[in-house]
A and B are shown apart, each in its own frame.
Chain A
Amino acid sequence: MNELRTLWVPLAVSGVAIVLLLVDVLSPPGASRRWLGWFVAAALAAIFAGTFLIDGSGTARGVFEGGPWTVAFQRLFLAGGVVAALGGVDDVARRTPLRIGEYWLAMLFSLAGMCLLPGARELVFLIVAFELMGVPLYVLAAYAKTDAPPGSDPAKKGLASEAALKMYLTGATSTAITLFGLALFTGMAGTTRLDVIGTAPLTPLGGLGLAFVLAGMGYKLGMVPFHMWVPDTYEGASTPFVAFLSVAPKAAGIAALSGIFLFGMGSHRAAWGPALGLLAVLSMAIGNLLALPQTDLRRLLGYSGIAQMGYLLVSVAANDAYSAGMTLFFLTAYLFTNMGAFLVLHAAAEASGSHGYDSLNGLAQRAPGLAASMMAFLLSLAGIPFVVGFWAKLYIFLAAWRAGLVGLVVAGIVLAVIGLFYYLKVLQAAYMTEPGALKKPEMGTGLRLAIGICVLAVVGLGLWPRPLVDGSLAAAKSLLDRPAAATTVNVVPASVRF
């Protein structure tokens, strides 16, 4: 029973999915299913609240481990799910009134997979959870294929299929590469248990395996050169879904990456650290540079996301509890910031029929509140005080600096300056242009609530980041600073440890 208790969050999410499936099937065919989105939001919010009441710590036969680290990530996914459900409730109902149930079903299963990932302590379990998260996302990306937004170019109607296909093809390749890498590594270590896998000395074949695993993980995070699906998928899929896609799976990817590399193979940091650093620099450089010439804001945010993941990897590469805590904090900040930005973009695009800079023209006059929210999100992405993105960026760079990764930090700060340019360019469109013939965006209650939650988080945590920072640090400590088990050999030099 205790083992089930540690797994209660993913189980509850799956339970909600099954209830949803039954309700969807049993409801009369003609009945409105619009409320399913609200149901999902409420259920996820309830589970979110439940994480504060039900203690899920403990281990399930060594393959899954509950505890502060797992719960912190689960809360992150649940919060993302709530915002995604609220933000998408109207869009889903409007685009495909007949397939509402399927949309939420896919999202819930993906969420269930995500909730398993941070606690996964065994490679097979981890990779299954990883795919449970990933496969529904392909479905969701293709979901908007039937009808493009009103007034858009009919030639672009196939974009969603293209988006899903590109995501799927690169995703499938990456999974194959990951599995191959894990097979190699497992062959070397002789175990799939993450808590002991790092004890084996690294053979060349094991190093090869590590490289392949890193490449496979890089796909989900959108790291260069595995990033190419990102802008195309963001452009083609429905924007409220992209809001979700751009954050929750990334957080899940970081959870998996932390599980495998920090928890499992932290002792082999010398083998994977520099490679991760290289990918981080590539991501920051390519992401920021290619965001500059973009004219479609979804693509711009896509490349910006690639760059943001680059900053984050700098912190992961630091490989200690302090930086892992800051990674978690950054993910929380990024979740609310990026979802908020996409949702505002969605609202503005609905009113203008475009996703370019011009969709925001005169937004400050048309909808001052929406424009101010966009400002908060963009400033947070750019890392300006006193919104949460500032602290997030400050802390991860600080963490990497303390771990001795000075070069990476300098590269990150220099490249982040480019980000300032295009974020402020978006802000300029919202604040320093005339609205022309554009109308005031019309938003449903769900979308308003979703954006409101994001603003509250971005500004609130910006003004008072302390509790979350402390919480994140404690969570990371629970993962990495455990009393040295007899089986764990620590070969990382003391100088790079915090």
Chain B
Amino acid sequence: MSRPITLALVATLTPALVALFLAATPFIRRRGAPAAALTVLGSVVSFGAAVMLLLSRLGQTGTELFTVPWIRSSARVIAEAGVHVDGVSASMLAVVCFVALCVQVFSLGYMHDEPPADFGRYFTYHALFLFSMNVLVIAPNLLQLFVGWELVGVTSYLLIGFYYKKPSAAHAAVKAFWVTKFADMGILFALLSLFVATGTFAWNVKLEPAVATAVTMLLFLGVVGKSAQFPLHVWLPDAMEGPTPVSALLHAATMVAAGVFLVVRADPLFVQSPTTRTVMLVLGAVTALFAALLALVQTDIKKVLAYSTCSQLGYMVAALGAGSVLAGFFHLTTHAFFKALLFLAAGSAIHAVHSNEIGKMGGLFKKMPLTGAAFAIGALALAGVPGLSGFFSKDLVLEGVEHKLHHVPYVILLATAFLTAFYMGKVVFVAFFGPPSSEQAKHAHEPGWSMKLPLVALAVLAVVAGYFAAPFARLYGEPYHFHFGVGAAVAAALGLGGIALAWTMFGGGKRENPQVMVTVERIAQSRAVNRLYEFGYRRVTLAMADAFAWFDRYVIDGMINWLGYFTIDAGRRARPMQTGFAPDYVLAVVVGAVSLAAWAVLR
């Protein structure tokens, strides 16, 4: 086993060991603090290994592969499990481990008031999540990737439903699970089709054009679910019922990005189907705009960020659809940093104010300068202000879309960039500037070091990550030269313009909704948009759920129940056979023997 393989395995298996250990030792887990310490320690090890791996990959383009036979038939090995190290998995591994570590450290402070048993449970889930995500990242084939994918799904169910005694949280967990599972059927069928067509689960095989389209469309269905693309985006806003650090980890930086990661990985398949790519481009652009519109009218800070995540994932999907894989992947990376930062800073604010409503915050910048600065940096990066990481990656995405002469999506994405800057500006100005809007906001104060430290670390990366575009591109094996062209200028201007507009409307402590916003809200909550939303949830998700539920309840359950009653009844009816009288028993033996004999003779 070569060194990169060992490092990847260490990064993956350490959290697995931690999770196993904590699962097996309830007396340690329920004490809380030791479990948390162990999990964070495990993540430090994972992160260390991931960084060493990433450094060792710099300046290399090759692939390191290590596999063991996993599923065999008598003739051959059907599937292998193992580690696939290249630029993509090395950088993704580092990002995942870094964000997970930050979130876990942040949680030390954020979740501190939980009872010890729940505290320990929380960190056990986190260790399990990191393992699952890393299994996905290092997968050498689509089957192992799918295993990690499903593990991530289960862990996200556990984490969203962490406050399982709260009905809304339990409901949100089920909804997230159900919607993503529905989409995962697509992946399952894609894997089956792929296996039938090629006999492997590899992502770099040549397919017939029709098969390629079928497989990639099915894969993309899974991506639509996991990465919360329209019309299966409906679970993501609800998933904000989980603890805020969980939202930062799963629903911003890593888990939802798994869909994008899948497309990056399976790019050799997607390349073979222009149809799927076009669908991706359109759906990504639509999601970006649609979710940005919805983000505009939210008053819950986490919901704003949730819709913003949908919107940014739409960017990535659009970039991938345009064939600009590097842009999509790079945006995934920078987005992981600044969106995790935004969520954690929002968590810090929520922790101080005890409310998610931006209307109840206000003036937090003075009380909590570090949190305020962190949120502002995240918001500026997200808005695509020149110099910050989001600017570079967003520019790369726009360039990629424009380069392929997809004018309509390009304009949509530009409009989205403007909207993004506007709604983030709104949140910053309303929540962090102006006078405090509630008693709690007046007495808000900075959190402890464990919550500050991750903010600082993420803020630094949110600022500087963009400057690593060139080495990042080399990891991926593509050239990268930044040039401040017209496109970049337009994007930057739109971003700044959005912020400026937000300032004129909400800056300086203005609280009343300007007429424009009222109009926008009216549009966003209009019947048309509602219908779109309803279409996503009721027409697609719920209708499917209802159909399956009906079939399950009346056809399958009905049959099973009838069979069950019939069987038990038959058992009862057969009972008198056993009379309990010995002569009857002997009679049965004799009758049996004579019947057999009669059959033997008469046959």
Binding site for B on A (CB under 8 A): 162, 165-166, 169-170, 173-174, 177, 204, 207-208, 210-212, 214-216, 218-219, 224-226, 228-229, 231-232, 271, 275, 286, 289-293, 418, 421
Contacts and interface: CB of A to CB of B under 8 A. Distances in A.
Given A211-B597, A212-B597, A293 B580 contact: no
B578 interface: yes
B196 interface: no
A334 to B, nearest CB: 22
B20 interface: no
Contact of B589 (A162, A177, A207, A291): A177
A215 B589 contact: yes
A411 to B, nearest CB: 14
Contacts of A231: 578
Contact of B601 (A174, A204, A286): A204
A225 B599 contact: no
Given A215-B593, A418-B567, A166 B599 contact: no
A394 to B, nearest CB: 15
Which of B577, B597, B601, B603 neighbours the largest number of chain A CB atoms within 10 Å of its CB? B597
B589 A173 contact: yes
Which of A169, A216, A291 neighbours the largest number of chain B CB atoms within 10 Å of its CB? A169
A289 B570 contact: yes
A289 B574 contact: yes
A166 B585 contact: yes
B590 interface: yes
Interface residues on B, range: 20 to 34
Given A169-B586, A177-B589, A226-B588, A292 B567 contact: yes
Which of A165, A292, A421 neighbours the largest number of chain B CB atoms within 10 Å of its CB? A292
B78 interface: no
Given A215-B597, A225-B592, 12 more contacts: A208-B600, A210-B600, A211-B600, A212-B593, A212-B597, A214-B596, A216-B593, A228-B589, A291-B571, A292-B567, A292-B572, A293-B568
A232 B580 contact: yes
Given A207-B600, A207-B601, A208-B600, A286 B574 contact: yes
A226 B589 CA distance: 5
10 contacts: A170-B589, A177-B589, A208-B597, A225-B588, A228-B588, A231-B578, A286-B574, A293-B571, A293-B575, A418-B567
Which of A162, A169, A228 neighbours the largest number of chain B CB atoms within 10 Å of its CB? A228
A356 B568 CA distance: 18
Contacts of B26: none
A169 B588 CA distance: 12
Closest 5 CB pairs of A and B: A292-B571, A215-B593, A211-B600, A225-B592, A228-B585
Contacts of A204: 601
A2 B215 CA distance: 69
B592 A218 contact: yes
A229 B584 CA distance: 10
B586 A170 contact: yes
B564 interface: yes
Interface string B554-598: 000000000010011011101101101010111011111100110
B36 to A, nearest CB: 28
A218 B596 CA distance: 11
A289 B564 CA distance: 11
Given A231-B578, A291-B571, A174 B589 contact: yes
Contact of A275 (B574, B582, B596): B596
Contacts of B596: 211-212, 214-215, 275
Contacts of A418: 567
Contacts of A229: 585
Which of B570, B582, B591, B603 neighbours the largest number of chain A CB atoms within 10 Å of its CB? B582
B571 A289 contact: yes
A292 B568 contact: yes
B599 A275 contact: yes
A286 B578 CA distance: 11
A373 to B, nearest CB: 19
Contact of B582 (A169, A224, A291): A169
Interface majority SS (helix, strand, loop, mixed), chain A: helix
Nearest to B592: A225
Given A166-B585, A170-B589, A208-B600, A228 B572 contact: no
B235 to A, nearest CB: 32
A177 B593 contact: yes
Which of B564, B568, B592 neighbours the largest number of chain A CB atoms within 10 Å of its CB? B592
Interface in B464-493: none
B563 to A, nearest CB: 9
A328 to B, nearest CB: 22
A29 to B, nearest CB: 36
A208 B568 contact: no
Contacts of B586: 169-170, 173
Which of B567, B589, B601 neighbours the largest number of chain A CB atoms within 10 Å of its CB? B589
B585 A169 contact: yes
A275 B593 CA distance: 11
A166 B592 contact: no
Contacts of B570: 289
A144 B574 CA distance: 30
Nearest to B593: A215
Contacts of B592: 215, 218, 224-226
Contacts of B567: 289, 292, 418, 421
B73 to A, nearest CB: 14
A293 B567 CA distance: 10
A225 B578 contact: no
B566 to A, nearest CB: 10
A169 B585 CA distance: 8
A271 B603 CA distance: 9
Contacts of B578: 228, 231-232, 290
Which of B571, B577, B591, B596 neighbours the largest number of chain A CB atoms within 10 Å of its CB? B596
Interface in B180-211: none
Contact of A211 (B571, B590, B599): B599
Interface string B144-164: 000000000000000000000
Contacts of B564: 421
Interface in B20-62: none
A293 B570 CA distance: 10
Contacts of A174: 589
A226 B574 CA distance: 15
A170 B599 contact: no
Contacts of A211: 593, 596-597, 599-601
Nearest to A271: B600
A290 B571 CA distance: 5
Nearest to B584: A228
A219 B592 CA distance: 10
Contacts of B590: 173, 177
A424 to B, nearest CB: 12
Contacts of A207: 600-601, 603
A418 B593 CA distance: 28
A5 to B, nearest CB: 39
A212 B597 CA distance: 6
A211 B596 CA distance: 5
Nearest to A206: B600
A418 B565 CA distance: 11
A275 B597 CA distance: 10
Contacts of A291: 571
B128 to A, nearest CB: 22
A364 B601 CA distance: 55
Contacts of A232: 578, 580
A165 B601 CA distance: 32
Contacts of A166: 582, 585
Contacts of A289: 567, 570-571, 574
Contacts of B571: 289-293
Nearest to A227: B588
Contacts of A162: 582
B592 to A, nearest CB: 4
A214 B590 CA distance: 12
A286 B572 CA distance: 11
